[in-house]
Structure 1
Amino acid sequence: MSTPARTTHSGPGADPADWERTGVRLHVADATATVTLCRPERRNAQSPALWRALAAIGRSLPGSVRLVILRAEGLSFSAGLDRAMFSPEGIPGERSLLELATGDGEAEIAGFQEAFTWWRRPDLITVAAVQGHAVGAGFQLALACDLRVCAEDVQFSMRETSLGLVPDLAGTKPLVDLVGPARALEICGTGRWVTAAEADRIGLANLVVPGTELDAAAADLGAALLAAPRDALIETKALLQGAPGRSHEQQQAAERAAQVRRLRDLSGVGE
């Protein structure tokens, strides 16, 4: 008996109603965009359709947006990948994980990664407000953001390795940057839980607050970041992002160049 051909969706376009059907909602107010995972009944499990929606949101943000807050409804931030992806049948209309082994699987995964990479754009500051479980893809989505405000009940876990897979949604570099390669290997290799207290201690969390204060704390942090002039913050973020790949001398040169750009802009030189 032959297997019916599977149709792969091209994904949600620019229609917010399409995004919400996949489990994500966007609200823009002035310079702040709020992205909300909104499938609490499924613990905000993720699917390729959700990733396409997140990528579309990143492409559609107005130029006036400076701050993006990522939050989630319900008890869990995200329980990770929708388990239907692990079955031979997969999610209707999507290729299963097993099918990614055939054809151009790397290109398809590259498409998935787009949902996790735009959060690091230098013209944006992104803050994840994380509560409850953030597992696998959920952990990596929290890592995609520049900063993480965590509720006291948060529990991170990278489960891919224990399933015979690797974390492939752009989460390995930010994890290593935050906690170092040895700690990152231990977290990924064991798949264990990282509590809020440990996340705070090892640098995964910028701030830990009671769950009832999570949204307010993320908003307060965002407001403090918006108080800085936009161009100065863009230059500073770019400097800090590039620092790990530069020598001290190269970083000093980058600082000098950035500062001259800022002074020229402030003085009007070159206009």
Structure 2
Amino acid sequence: MKLAGTAAVVTGAASGLGAATARALASEGAKVAIFDMNAEKGEALAAEIGGIFCNVDVTSDDSVDAGFAKARAAHGQERILVNCAGVGSAVKTASRDKATGEIKHYPLGAFEKVIQINLIGTFRCIAKSAAGMLTLEPLEHGERGAIVNTASVAAEDGQIGQAAYSASKGGVVGMTLPIARDLMNEGIRVNTILPGIFNTPLLQAAPDNVKASLAASVPFPKRLGEPEEYAKLAIAMITIGYFNGEDVRLDGGIRMAPR
């Protein structure tokens, strides 16, 4: 698929992996719509890349519908969707307070929130975008669109406290092939990236010694991943027409330890 002149939507695009992907798409001539809840950063990035910002909460049908309506009114029906919207979580399933002995369990409302954003929010955007892509005329080889999702290496080797996060990202991995199969006769490809430890805003705020320790845990190269590297893989998944139904780790060879 060619990027120049093609409409694209990137969720969670105001910062981190999503922002890098939005910039990469725009640099290749794509018309990019930024879906995010951070209006200040989203508007600034849209102005920078000549795109459009849509204030979208991926847990809300109405919000996602309004976002797609605004993006399509400006750029036309998207052929590209990259899902980067997500949240982290680190709470043990059950634990004992070392000082008081009090026993607590993971608050179920907090668990559900992670699933709603990371898993259901991703599927919500996929389903609504794919339905729109079905209205498009096919390109060469019958292609109508390409979708890239963001999971995590935690989908396969989650750490202590990552039950909700790993479940949500494992769900994204697990639904990739079935969705690709659902859409194969309509010419829509679906792939997922499993990033390792990346230099996103969350980690940029960490102390230098923490970042150095994390970097040292990567087999090679011994550094954090850069968002631009994620964006390059996303672009490859979009532009290489034979890339379909795949879940690809991008992690420097790391396998996460229990903690």
TM-score where L is the length of structure 2 = 0.31
Larger radius of gyration: 1
RCO comparison, higher one (Cα < 8 Å, 6+) = 2
